[in-house]
Amino acid sequence: MSHYSANLRDIEFCLFDLLERDKVMGTSLYSDVDRDTAMGMLEEMKRLCENDLAESFIEGDRLGTVFNKATGDVTVPASFKKSYDAYVDGEWWRLDAPVDLGGMKIPPSVRWAIAEMVLGSNPAVHIYASGYAFAHVAYVLGTPEQKKIAKLMIDHHWGATMQLTEPDAGSDVGAGRSKAVQQEDGTWHITGTKRFITSGDADLYENIVHFVLARREGGGPGTKGLSLFLIPKFMFNHETGELGKRNGIFVTNVEKKMGLNVSSTCEMNLGEHEPAVGYLLGDVHQGIAQMFKVIEFARMMVGTKAIATLSAGYQQALSYAKVRVQGGDMKVMNDKASPRVTIIHHPDVRRSLMVQKSYSEGMRALVLYTASIQDEIELAEQDGDADHLADMIARNDLMLPIVKGYGSEKSWTILGTESLQTFGGSGFTQDWPLEQYVRDAKIDTLYEGTTAIQGLDFFFRKIVKDGGRAIGLLGKEIQKFAESGGAHTQEKAALFTALGNLNGIISVLIAHAMESQEDPEKIYTVGLNTSRCLMAVGDIITAWLLIRQADIAAEKLPNAGKDSDFYTGKIASAQFFVTNFLPQIAADRVIVEATNGSIMDIPESAF
């Protein structure tokens, strides 16, 4: 039996009832994908994920990868390769490839709905298949010659990696020391060491193109001196793709990890024994700006992966709670002769299940809401609507650290404290997939910038640098909804109160940031609370989306028929979330207002 069960009913509800994506489908850029087509694709992906992709999930974890130190090659289990081939042979790669190179244009909202199922059933399949999205970047940003490389990547189904991190630099990308020297033929020779490189090697494809940040000879310090290079594992004929000699980029180690074991996480050496030949992307030294095209995609993917895993964990916990018989009903617990009941009858188990349900449904809406903004970006670009485009880009920039930071942190925490806990001691065994979910999901809080980094980016870049414009527009939209009346007036009033407390938190942090211009140590009081601010914003948006869903459900419920339980559950999720989590934002405000930075004065030896 498959470990994975896709919640396609909720995905459909988010896309078409909450976000009304059918209004943009079948038109303009998306003329080939109407609602029926999209649902057909989603239903087929559900079948693929619950069977072919999920089939190797557990064995991939148990067997992991095999690393040949002599050759620098990595092999994956045959069962995983079969799952990966099912994805590629089904031509799902077309969703990420440029249309000019055989890709299929679909709304990002549908693309990420599909991705949720892939990432929930076997996340390493999606991660290894990222070469098509990388090829898209090379095609958009590359020179005419490099556009040919992108075509070869698509036609020959090559892999790709993103290489930023170095052993000494870590998240401080600007401290990287990898060096690039231009050659007479226009190529570059790159030397250095990269660490924690996802999909650094695998026997899933014949070639891999590494997207590597390096400091060009004469380049200044920090991120501005970095350039982005395409470095293939094997050199190749640029017209036919025929492979040539081995290039000078090698895997020197594969990390032994806590989870996601079938995904190779590699240390890479460039140019130690022979030149690592690379091509400067676009013939311009704009490495960080170019790499952020990849990073933004990766952050969306990581947040979606985390939330997809939480949904899978909830589905497992719910099924278990309905069949596991233990103890008597609490109201007759003193009657030893009373019938034993399934654990879903116990109050604390129900509380735990509602935590999982409300967060998994709310954060699915969060992901697809963000993806719907990406729909609007593409449509505004097509229509030449500069003002709307600028608004949507700012809104998307604001949402990405929330999807990644908030989504990963909440998912990992709930998987461990609620989903696994539902199983009792059984959850700690390998008889059930929860322990693997927990291990696999932890990386999501670390991938592509830790939660702390997301919080700093969110506050300083997405709020302060933006002048509060994007979050102000979103806040006004949420406030308008909170004041709209109609159904769920208590929940909307609670949302309005929580929004006021959030504005108080942001105001305090902005005031401290301004004070730090005169008193530099004031910046510490900001840094102590940027993650707290990020989590509070995430809860506000999740509550807003859940109450919106509840309003729709209440309208549909009288004539719901077989869907009545689904809509009843939607209302229950919103009410539970608002009651149990929005009040915490008031406490967060008190904490932020009381923060004085004294923790920074404690001697290291006192810790």
Active site residues: 448
Q: With residue 228 as reference, give the H or E element that holds it.
A: strand 226-232
Burial (CB count within 10 angstroms: exposed 0-12, middle 13-18, buried 19+), residue 168: exposed
Q: Which residue type, as a one-letter code, is found at position 537?
A: V
- Strands of 117-225 (E only): list them: 159-163, 179-182, 188-198, 208-216
Three-state SS at 63: helix
Sign of CA dihedral 472, 474, 480, 481: negative
Q: Rounded CA gap, 440 and 411, in Å?
A: 11
Q: Rounded to 5 degrees, what angle do the CA atoms 471, 474, 479 make?
A: 120
Q: Do 455 and 533 form a contact (C-beta atoms < 8 A)?
A: yes
Segment 144-150 long-range contacts (CB within 8 Å, at least 24 positions apart): 145/238, 145/279, 146/230, 146/279, 146/281, 146/282, 148/238, 148/239, 149/209, 149/230, 149/238, 149/279, 150/98, 150/101
Within the chain, how many helices (H) and strands (E) appear? 21, 14
Torsion, Cα of 27, 33, 35, 41 (10° steps):
-170
**Torsion angles phi and psi, residue 182, rounded to 5:** -75, 145
Nearest residue to 26 via CA among 91, 107, 114, 104: 107
Q: Rounded CA gap, 498 and 501, in Å?
A: 5
Q: What does each C-alpha distance from 463 to 225, 401, 466, 505, 589 come to in angstroms?
A: 26, 12, 5, 13, 17
Residue 66's beta-bridge partner residues? 75
Nearest residue to 513 via CA among 404, 595, 587: 595
Q: Do 190 and 214 form a contact (C-beta atoms < 8 A)?
A: yes
Q: Rounded CA gap, 426 and 578, in Å?
A: 31
Q: Do 452 and 406 form a contact (C-beta atoms < 8 A)?
A: no
Q: Rounded CA gap, 221 and 272, in Å?
A: 23
